Structures are given as structure tokens and as C-alpha cells.
Amino acid sequence: MRGRVIKIINDFYYVKAMDNNPQFECKLKGTLLKERCYPLVGDVVELKITDYENSQGQITSICPRKNRLIRPAVSNVDQVIIVTSPKEPNPNLQLIDRILVWAYFEGLKGIICINKKDLDLEKTDELVSKYTKAGYDTVKTSAANNKLGDLEYILKDKVTVLAGQSGVGKSSLLNTINPEFNLRVEEVSKKAGTGKHTTRHCQLFEVKDGYLVDTPGFNKKKLPDISPYELIHAFPDIKAYAINCKFNDCSHRKEPGCQVRPQVGGNISKSRLDSFVNLFEELVEQERRF
């Protein structure tokens, strides 16, 4: 039988069988332990049921991973939904673009969710238009009014990470999607002997045939180890014009023959070019340090 690891507590792996069967509490097969093959939350595994009545099983192998994030430690993630709001707090556009860059280089699809649309519909639509133009899917929600728009459809059959600045309503959205998220618990496992060493595993929550990764505080991301010149790939809106700039190392700031600058305010939002320029500088700095 095949299933997905949704939670890990100490040596116990909680596996949801693929065909909607109940959840099984599993131990690892001896050979996996010997080879130090430890499953991650998100892993698809083969399992053998050892006791149906008490929902106990054994994980016999781990299927190849599509990808693997380090923090949170989770595998087989499909997409990241970046939650923002029109006000209270005002959107942090630089943070959104930064997370989009991180997502691109992790191979994840980036989607923008504008929550709190009840506070300012006009500003909400401005954000929708900004990110649609940049090439991203967007969704408008109001957790306060139980309005999820297409969010549930977007989550269907996917493993999704929620990100975004503090106060935009990530927890509220989770609770609107499934009130059981209220029961979110910190599970801390103490390693025998040291007493101080603690591990915090993330958890997957079931939503609409898909899963949401529970990652409190997942926010600021170190930039990936890429050359500044690779950054353009994470900005499809700018890249479309940058390929025609006169100089192929154009920084789109003051060079003659730049095809990006004339698009600002039109096909390219000013905030997107600002983000690009700032992140480019940061990558140049990062490269200089090594």
C-alpha cells in the first residue's frame, strides 16, 4: 500500500493511505533504519499494515522525491501561496518578490493570495493586476467573511506552503479552510541524552484532496546561491523585454538601448523593477563575499 507521511513524532510516522483509507501509525522497517533512510513529512512511502484494527503499520520504502525543502523540512511540495493584504498591514512588495524568487529556484509555482479584500477592494484589484501582469496566478479572499474565492480549487491535489508577512491572515485563512487547524500543536521531541536538543517537525493538513504545510513563521528567505545574472529567470515580466536590451549585461537602470525601462508603468510595474534591481545588488554583494 502507498501513502503519504503527514506527521512525525519521535519514531512514529503518521501515514495517510493514498486511497482515502484511515491514517496509520508506522514504524520504520529495520533495513531503512540501518541505512539511515529517514522519511520526511511529504514523502510518499510504501507501507505494510501490521495491525488493521489499531491502524498500525510499517514503512518499507520511500518513493523518489520530487523536491525537498530544508526549512521547513518537507518534500514533494508543488507550490507556495504568498499571502498579502491591501492594508493592515500594507503589502510588502519586496518581500513578495523575494519569496517568488526563492520559489522559482526551488522549482515551486508561486501564487499570490490577496486576503482582507473586505478592507479595500480597489487596492486589492491593483495588486491582482500587478501580479497578473507579472505572470502569476492570483486569488482574492476575505478570511473574515468566509470568502475563499478560488483558493480551495487552487489547493486541490497539491502540496502547498503558505508564506507571507506577519498579520496578513495566514492563520485565519487556514482556520477558514478547515477549523481543525485551530488545534495546531507544537510537537517537540527531546532527543534522549542531551535533554536540550529539540526538533520541530512540520505537519501536513488535509485540504480538498491536497495538503497544506503548517509552517509558522516561514517568511524571510535567504536568496539562493545563484549568479546575479540568473535572477532574470525569476522575473518573467522583465525577462520578456530584457532579451532585447542593447547590452546583454544591461542592469536596466541607465544604459542606452534598454528595452525594459520604457515598459515601466506599462507592461512592467515599477515595484517589480525596483525589486529586481535590489535583489540583483544583493546577489552581487553575496557573490563578492565568496
Ligand X SMILES: Nc1nc2c(ncn2[C@@H]2O[C@H](COP(=O)(O)OP(=O)(O)OP(=O)(O)O)[C@@H](O)[C@H]2O)c(=O)[nH]1
Binding residues: 115-118, 164-172, 245, 250, 252, 258
DSSP state of 69: E
Residue 160 interaction partner, one of ligand X, Zn ion, none, beta carbon < 5-8 Å per kind: none
Alpha helices in the chain (DSSP H): 30-34, 93-106, 121-133, 151-155, 170-177, 236-242, 270-288
Residue 170 interaction partner, one of ligand X, Zn ion, none, beta carbon < 5-8 Å per kind: ligand X
- Among 103-111, 115-123, 201-209, 247-255, which window interacts with ligand X (CB under 6 A)? 115-123
**Which residues lie below 8 Å from residue 26, measured CB to CB, with a gap of 6+?**
12, 13, 14, 15, 45, 47, 56, 57, 58, 59
Residue 267 interaction partner, one of ligand X, Zn ion, none, beta carbon < 5-8 Å per kind: none
Give the residue, chosen from 107, 135, 167, 265, that forms a contact with ligand X under the rule CB under 6 A: 167
**Which residues lie below 8 Å from residue 174, measured CB to CB, with a gap of 6+?**
162, 181, 184, 205, 212, 214
Which x/- pattern over 230-249 shows residues binding Zn ion (rule: CB under 5 A)? ---------------x----
Closer residue to Zn ion (CB): 167 or 265? 265
Is 144 a binding residue for ligand X by CB under 6 A? The answer is yes
CB atoms under 10 Å from CB of 168, counted, come to 25
Give the residue, chosen from 15, 103, 151, 168, that forms a contact with ligand X under the rule CB under 6 A: 168
**Which residues lie below 8 Å from residue 57, measured CB to CB, with a gap of 6+?**
1, 15, 24, 25, 26, 47, 48, 49, 50, 51
- Among 25-33, 95-103, 139-147, 183-191, which window interacts with ligand X (CB under 6 A)? 139-147
Closer residue to Zn ion (CB): 159 or 245? 245
Which x/- pattern over 71-110 shows residues binding ligand X (rule: CB under 6 A)? ----------------------------------------
CB atoms under 10 Å from CB of 247, counted, come to 11
Closer residue to ligand X (CB): 75 or 142? 142
Sign of CA dihedral 238, 270, 221, 170: negative
Rounded to 5°, angle at Cα 191 from 189 and 195: 100
Give the residue, chosen from 118, 125, 187, 282, that forms a contact with ligand X under the rule CB under 6 A: 118
Residue 33's φ and ψ, nearest 5 degrees, are: -65, -45
Judged by the rule CB under 6 A, the positions of this chain that interact with ligand X are 115-116, 118-119, 142-144, 166-172
Judged by the rule CB under 5 A, the positions of this chain that interact with Zn ion are 245, 250, 252, 258, 260
